[in-house]
Amino acid sequence: MKVILDELRCDAHGVCVTACPEVFALDDTDDIVRVLVQEPEESLRDKLSKAAQACPKAAIKVED
């Protein structure tokens, strides 16, 4: 499972961080979200797809 972030779309809202803090991180000085793990464990699939769904910019894709 792979996380693909469209950096041009991301506006650092951080909704994904709330949904899946294992994979995404953001602090006040960041202009785009940081992807902590490119290929997260299978157990995070649910949380990750929630993050992708919640992102208001549709900036996150999850690929197998």
Contacting positions for another protein (CB under 8 A): 8-9, 11-13, 15, 19, 28-32, 50, 53-58
Closest approach, Cβ 54 to another protein, in A, equals 5
Q: Which residues ranging from 2 to 21 are in contact with ligand SF4 (CB under 6 A)?
A: 5, 10-16
What Cα–Cα distance (Å) separates residue 28 from each residue in 25, 32, 34, 47, 48? 11, 10, 12, 23, 22
> Measured between alpha carbons, how far is 33 from 19 in angstroms, rounded to an integer?
13
- Provide the binding-site residues for ligand SF4, judged by CB under 6 A: 5, 10-16, 24, 26, 33, 55, 57, 59-60
